[in-house]
Structure 1
Amino acid sequence: MLGFLRKKSAPIAAPLVSSTGKPPRFPITQNEIARQVHIFYAYVQADHELSDVLNRYIEDWNAHEKKLRAFWAKVLLHEPGYEGAMNRAHDGVAELSPDLLERWLEHFHDAAHEVLPADSADEWVRIARQLGKSVMANAPTPVQGAET
């Protein structure tokens, strides 16, 4: 873990409903989402195996973080803003593997637990794991015997 990121914030009351009128999936705020995403990507960038792969696809980490904050706000808070297609966004990542996903989820878990109480962090990690499995299920599988 990155030492400068260890300080856990005081719990922040989550809104009872989002701007769409729907309740969040669990108690969480936009600020907590932003903090978790920032810490998570600091971990990812410090992990040479993950960063070596992702640096081939992500040109601007700040823009990527902004997009992911919007994605998680849509998933967790039902907020408008993210217009992408998660599975299609990962279609061209040839290096996707169960091992790489597990490594990603370990960092996600650690970052979530730095920002949120354990029950909220565990729920967010559960959702992230489901989404990761969806990405893996839709990932193209290499053709056996094909020459590269």
Structure 2
Amino acid sequence: MSLPPRFPISDIQIEGVVTEFYALIRAHPVLGPVFGAHVADWPAHEAKIAAFWRNAILFERSYDGNPMAVHKAAGNVRPGMFIPWLKLFDEVLARRLSPETASAWSALAHRIGRGLSLGLQDYGGIPKLS
């Protein structure tokens, strides 16, 4: 038994968002170098992230990975980096999708981003106050 999608979207739309987003990431003055230090094969990375989103939205089970572990292992990802990441992502969503679909995907991305950011805070990203 498969679950219904979180919201209506096609594989082509997911791939389009991911492709445009990572083009912007590569050009971003802060995020570009962080990603560039770890991503050698952009098409493979984009395919993996598209699979992540198909899993998160369409429940396809096409993604096998641990985003928290990957971001922690990178060593140069800081919690505050999710602010410009999400801003760019929201801009792409607004350009490529209907307002309803963009809003639904944005809410999911922000929830995931908050989780990753909080996980990285406890991993040496920023000092915790006593």
Q: Same fold (TM over 0.5)?
A: yes
Q: CA deviation at 1:108?
A: 0.4
Q: Which aligned runs of 4 or more in structure 1 are off by greater than 3 angstroms?
A: none
Q: Flag the structure with larger Rg.
A: 1
Unmatched segments (≥5 aa) in structure 1: 1-19
Higher deviation after alignment, 132-141 or 34-43: 132-141
2:117 to 136, 139, 142: 136
- Once residues 51 and 74 of structure 2 are traced to their aligned partners in structure 1, the CA distance between those partners, rounded to angstroms, is 21
Deviations 1:26-63 (A, max 9, x none): 11111100000001111111112110111111111111
Query: Which structure 2 residues correspond to residues 64-75 of structure 1 after superposition, within 5 A?
Result: 64-75=45-56
Matched, 1:41 2:22: yes
Q: Which amino acid in the other structure matches residue 110 of structure 2?
A: R
Identity, in percent, stands at 30
**Among 65, 70, 85, the residue aligned to 1:104:** 85
Offset at 1:95? 3.1
Q: 1:6 maps to which residue?
A: none
Could you state the TM-score of these two structures normalised by the residue count of structure 2? 0.88
**5+ residue gaps in structure 2?**
none
2:124 is matched by which residue type in structure 1? T
Root-mean-square deviation (CA, aligned residues, Å) is 1.6
SS at match of 2:5: coil
The question of whether the paired residues in 2 share the 8 Å contact of 1:96 and 1:136 is answered with no
Distance in 2, matches of 1:135 and 1:98, equals 8
Count, aligned residues? 125
Taking structure 1 as reference, are residues 81 and 43 closer, same or farther at Cα in structure 2, changes over 3 Å only? same
Trace 1:18-37 onto structure 2 (pairs within 5 A): 21-37=2-18
CA distance in 1, matches of 2:83, 2:54: 23
8 Å contact from structure 1 (residues 36, 112) kept in 2: yes
Taking a change above 3 Å as real, the CA distance of residues 125 and 33 of structure 1, as seen in their structure-2 partners, is same
- The alignment's TM-score, normalised by the length of structure 1, stands at 0.78
